[in-house]
Structure formats: structure tokens, C-alpha cells
Structure 1
């Protein structure tokens, strides 16, 4: 599949780089260490603020990774399914005319690439806005959770789910889709083409018209109730598995102080952002029966419920 070999691996690689760099807490940890060595290096308020920032960023890092990995995995498969259906229909229409089919293939190659390259939009254009929104959600949820409070596995899971729910609540009227899909895909694709080639190729206009059609279909699918259902189920499943992995690594028992858990929470993001073939979470999403059924219906061109 195209999404397995090129599109999703590239998007995940870029995503990992961006999240790790923008939510890096190493300087904050160094700041606390310096405060231990030199008690005058940090005032009590500065120490408190530093710990709070570590708390927010640790959860933001993991929940952002969880949401972005899940949505990119689902989104790219929507793209590939829609593209595959169009290619099949084009082939069926042109199968009686080999020359027309050859011309169609040549014409559409750039359009196919531009369409699938939209999977990078989150990372190239929206990652900072996305992380800021997730950080807002994390701040809202975690403000009621002092660092000294003990948390068990169920409480960690509920905290993660609350952050996800708060993030989605902040994204009114399905505005989360705008993190994945450009408002004007042809213009965005044209800018990307100019950026990569250095010139404006007007011969690509027909490809851009097709791109606009495919992206419009993609946006309709993402806004559907059926997609929302598999998105929520997938996020819940991944949250449960990730926190389960944390429980295996940590003897929570009656709970650990939140401050003690933070390094482990932050480290949960790394396996979430591994490349698809080695990413067990992506494999879990793909194997969910309701996810498989959704894409089966989508390929068959059954309109999603809205």
C-alpha cells in the first residue's frame, strides 16, 4: 500500500522531529538540577513554575503524539482509499481505450503525489498551532492536579482522556480538521510545487482541479459521524494501551506522586511516534474491526452518515 511505504512513514518522521523539539523539557530539568546544586539559582516561585511547565509539557507531549499519530494513521488511509477508488473507476472507464488510459496515468501522477503529500500539512503548517491548542487543553485539565497528589493507573488514564476530550471541545464545529486539511488545497499544492521546483508550472492546473475534488471528498469523510466514531474509539483504545504500558513499567499500586510520574509520562511519546512498520499502536488501530469495516464501506463508496 502507498500509505505503508511512503506517505505515512514520511509524515510520522517529520511529526516526531517537530513534537520532540517543540516539547523538549531538557532545559527545564537542567534548571531544576541547577537549583539543587545552588539553592540561590531558583526562587520558590521559579521552582514551582518550572515544575508546572514540566507537568504541562510532559502530558502535552504524549497526548499530542497520541492524537497526531492516530489521526494521521486514519487520515492517510482515508486518502489512499479515496484515491484507490478513483483510480479503479478511471481504469474501468478507460479500459477500452489503452491510449486514453496511458494519457490518464501520465496526467494524474503529479496529482496523486500532491494529494498524498497533503498528509504532511499538519507538520509543515499547523504543528505549532496544534501543540498550542493541546497545551491549552492540558493546562485546563492539570490545573486541578497538584504535583504532590498521588495518581494510580486509572487516574492517569482518565487524565489523558480528559485532555483529549478538552482538546476536541476547544475545536468547535469540527475545526480540528483544519489541522489536517488545508482550506484551499490547490493553492497550498501550488505553493509546495513552486517551493520544490522553483517555478510556477501552469501545466499542473488540471491536476490541481482533481486535487480539489479529492480533498473535498476527504474533508466530507473526516466530518462524518462515522469517521468521528472510529476516531474516538481509536483514541480511547490507544490511550488504554499506552497507560497499560506505563503500568507495566511502573509499580503504581495505590499511586505515585504526580511529580514522580512525569518523566515516565513524557517518555510514552517516543513509541507512539515510531515509524509505522515498528509502531504497535498503528498496528492496533489497523486491526480494530470497526476501523476495517469503515474503510470497506468507504471504498465501496457508501456515503458516510453525517
Structure 2
């Protein structure tokens, strides 16, 4: 028996050897495949966990951006609403109107005031329109005294030539006072017109640049924090949730982060004035020759605002201008930001890691991607503004008969333009803030900044 088995193995040694190697190889290959499969599963789970953690942290970072913008808006409101105080001018118009009424009441009986019937009917029509605007202002929580002064006095530039006052020695001083009063009111109306548009458009630009700068800063810092969190993970807790808190020993120190975020002080306290001056020049160029008693359509307002934007954004040096508004270019200005914008008593110093952060931020601002995102942000915000103005011409509850091409006296539109600045910086809920969260281009740029790991 043993001899036959020995002969059998000797006779089939080659085939048996091949079979043994094949079986062994198959077994080992199966073990290797199983090991690879388990490794792939582990790696896939780790990558999925990392992606979920990154997505969660990124979304939280965008929420932080919205919260930071909201916390800064009160500074913007204090600056722009106090610097461009349209309400004070409207109060002057109200006082001028009260003086005019007092003059008529206490004028000598020998002076007879002749009133043109056509003028009288026009005033009545305007009073009817004023009551409509007043009812709308009550719904929107706007000061009725302010809007009444706007609406009741709007006929002054238009009807000043219709008042007929007979000449007499007794009322000569009254005549000169009325003429001067009308001249002053015309000047005040021109100032209301310019400043109403200037304040609202400036508020939109400041809001846009503040939003862009905040997203750049927080996402850049978020990238460093996320990288350090990933590097700090051990094999044991790799699949656990990455800690949100700032880890000790981060590649960017807490002091550097504080200094870097302090640079928003430049936009909020200094450079916004330069932006307002630029907008003021553009508004003067477009609206200086437009009388306040002109009847305008919604399309006319759209054209005016587009022309103002063209003047502001049409400069070939716009990128450099906007970068200088968002961040200081000179070393002396950077040190001034750290000196006045922080609470540290020591002499400010710009360390290497802070300089790297500032340089990277400026590089992003100078990039074509940022230019595209900036245009998208401005278009979105001005779209919200124009939507609100459209609702003034065509209220949402209007019937079909009122949806035809509607004209309004520009003076009647100014309260709505003025009110829009409050909506930008003080609105609750703030539709402009909601619009920022809906801009896909801004979210995409934030994601690019947040996930740019190749240089780290």
C-alpha cells in the first residue's frame, strides 16, 4: 500500500505540487483580499467620518460668519446713520413748513394772498397721496412726522412759482422771508435727495465688503484649526468626532487670531468714509440734475442705481481700491489698527504668522475668483434693495388694475429710499443677511479657502 502511494505521488508529483501551490495561493489570496477589504472599509469609514466632520465644521464656520456680521452691524449703523443724518434735514423741512404756516396766519390783514385754483387742486391731490403714504409708513413702523414732512412739502419746488403775493410796503419783509424760505427748502430737498440715495447705497456696499472680509478671515482661520485637529487625532480616536474647541498648541496662536480678526476695525472705523465719499461722488454725478418733483417709474430708479454702480465699480483700479478699504496697505496703518483696535497695552508687533495671514488674505482679494464672488454679492444685495423699492411702486396686495406702469413723484419715493438704509443695518429679520447666506458663489469661495491644504 505504501509502495503504491509512493509510486502514485512520484508519478503525479508535478500535478500535485501545482495543485498544492494553487490551493495555498488561493487561500493566501483570500486572506489578503479579506485584509484589503477590511482595510478599505476602515479607510472609507475614516474618510467618510472626516468628510462629515469637515462639512459640519464648515457649516458651523459659515454660521459663525453670519453671527459675526450681525454683531458688527450696530457699528455700521452708528457710523452711517449718524454721519449721513437725513432725518435731521427732514426735520429742518418740517420746521420751515411750520414757519411758513405761521407767516400766513399772522400776516397783516392788508396783504391779500391770491391762490391759483389749479395750484389748490394740486395740493389737495398731493395731500390725498400723502395720506396713502402715511398709512403705508404706519405699517412699516416709520416715524409719521418724518414722512409727513417729506410728503407735504414735496410740492414746494414745483408750485413755488404759482403763489401770487401782491406787492405792498407792509409785506415786503414777509415776501423776502418767503423767497429765502423757498430757496432754503429747495436746497434742503436737494440734500435729502442726494443723501437718501447715498446713505442706502453706501450701506449696501459696506455690508457687502464686511460680509466678504468676514468670510475670508473666519474660513482661513477655520482651515488652520481643522488641520491641527486632524493631525492631533490618534489611531484610537480617529473615528470619533473631532473636537470643536480650539486645541492647545495650534499652529496659529490665539493671540495671532485675535490680532488678525482685529483688522476688521479698519473697515468699520476708518475706510468706510472713503467708500461713502466715492458713492457720494457717483450719486452727485447721476442725480444732481434730477429734480425732486420729477415723476419717475420703477425702471427709472433701476437705471439711476445702475449708473451709480457703474461710477463706483467702473474704475480700473477698483480691485486695489476695494482691497484698501477692506485691509490697510501701509505698515503704519496696520500698526494703527493693532494699536487702536485691540486692548493690548504693549507696542503692536506683526509676527510672521500674522503677516502670512494678511498676505494670503490680500492674495485672495486680488484673485479673479474673488472678483466674481464680489460681483455676485453686490448683485444679490442690490437685487434685494430694488425688490423693496419695487414694492413701493407695486405693493404686494395691489390688484391687477394697479400693476400698470406706475409713476411717482421722486420726493414721495425718498422716504422709502431712506428707510431702506435702516433695513440694511437694523432690519429684523434682515433680508440682506438672509441673502448673503443664499449666495452659492460666496459659499464656494469659502469652501475653496477652507480646504486649501496643499500649502500647509
Normalised to the residue count of structure 2, the TM-score between the two structures is 0.58
Give the match for residue 382 of structure 2. Answer: 239
Give the direction of change, closer, same or farther, for the CA distance of 1:111–1:31 in structure 2 (3 Å limit): same
Correspondences of 1:116-127 after superposition (within 5 Å):
116-127=261-272
Q: Secondary structure at the match of 2:314?
A: helix
Give the direction of change, closer, same or farther, for the CA distance of 1:171–1:129 in structure 2 (3 Å limit): farther
Q: 1: CA distance between counterparts of 2:276 and 2:445?
A: 28
Q: Higher relative CO (CA 8 A, sep ≥ 6), structure 1 or 2?
A: 1
Q: 1: CA distance between counterparts of 2:335 and 2:356?
A: 13
- The offset of 1:154, in angstroms, is 2.2
Unaligned runs of 5+ in 1: none
Unaligned runs of 5+ in 2: 1-60, 101-176, 235-246, 396-404
Give the match for residue 281 of structure 2. Answer: 136
Q: Does 1:269 align with 2:269?
A: no
Q: Does 1:66 align with 2:204?
A: yes
Q: 2: CA distance between counterparts of 1:27 and 1:271?
A: 19
Give the match for residue 99 of structure 2. Answer: 38
Q: Secondary structure at the match of 2:328?
A: coil
- The offset of 1:256, in angstroms, is 0.7
CA deviation map 1:124-177 (0-9, x unaligned): 122322212211111111123221222222221222222122112357242122
Q: Secondary structure at the match of 1:220?
A: helix
CA deviation map 1:164-223 (0-9, x unaligned): 221123572421221110123752343136x6233437xxx4x63322211111111112
CA deviation map 1:75-103 (0-9, x unaligned): 2111111111223334455668xxxx733
Give the match for residue 9 of structure 1. Answer: 70
RMSD over equivalenced CA pairs, Å? 2.7
Q: 1: CA distance between counterparts of 2:376 and 2:435?
A: 12
Among 238, 245, 248, the residue aligned to 1:102: 248
Q: 2: CA distance between counterparts of 1:257 and 1:63?
A: 20
Task: State the structure with more CA Rg.
Answer: 2
Q: 1: CA distance between counterparts of 2:265 and 2:429?
A: 20
Q: 1: CA distance between counterparts of 2:277 and 2:393?
A: 29
Q: Is residue 161–residue 236 contact of structure 1 (8 Å, CA) maintained in 2?
A: no
Give the direction of change, closer, same or farther, for the CA distance of 1:87–1:302 in structure 2 (3 Å limit): closer
- The offset of 1:239, in angstroms, is 1.5
Give the direction of change, closer, same or farther, for the CA distance of 1:171–1:9 in structure 2 (3 Å limit): farther
Task: Say which is worse superposed, 16-25 or 217-226, in terms of deviation.
Answer: 217-226
Q: Is residue 56–residue 142 contact of structure 1 (8 Å, CA) maintained in 2?
A: yes
Q: Secondary structure at the match of 2:351?
A: helix
Q: Is residue 84–residue 199 contact of structure 2 (8 Å, CA) maintained in 1?
A: yes
Q: 2: CA distance between counterparts of 1:297 and 1:264?
A: 39
Q: 1: CA distance between counterparts of 2:187 and 2:256?
A: 49
- The offset of 1:45, in angstroms, is 3.4
Q: Is residue 62–residue 268 contact of structure 1 (8 Å, CA) maintained in 2?
A: yes
Q: Does 1:157 align with 2:157?
A: no
Give the match for residue 117 of structure 2. Answer: none
Correspondences of 1:277-292 after superposition (within 5 Å):
278-292=429-443
Correspondences of 1:68-83 after superposition (within 5 Å):
68-83=206-221
Q: Is residue 149–residue 258 contact of structure 1 (8 Å, CA) maintained in 2?
A: yes
Q: Is residue 206–residue 272 contact of structure 2 (8 Å, CA) maintained in 1?
A: no
- The offset of 1:37, in angstroms, is 2.5
Q: Does 1:56 align with 2:233?
A: no
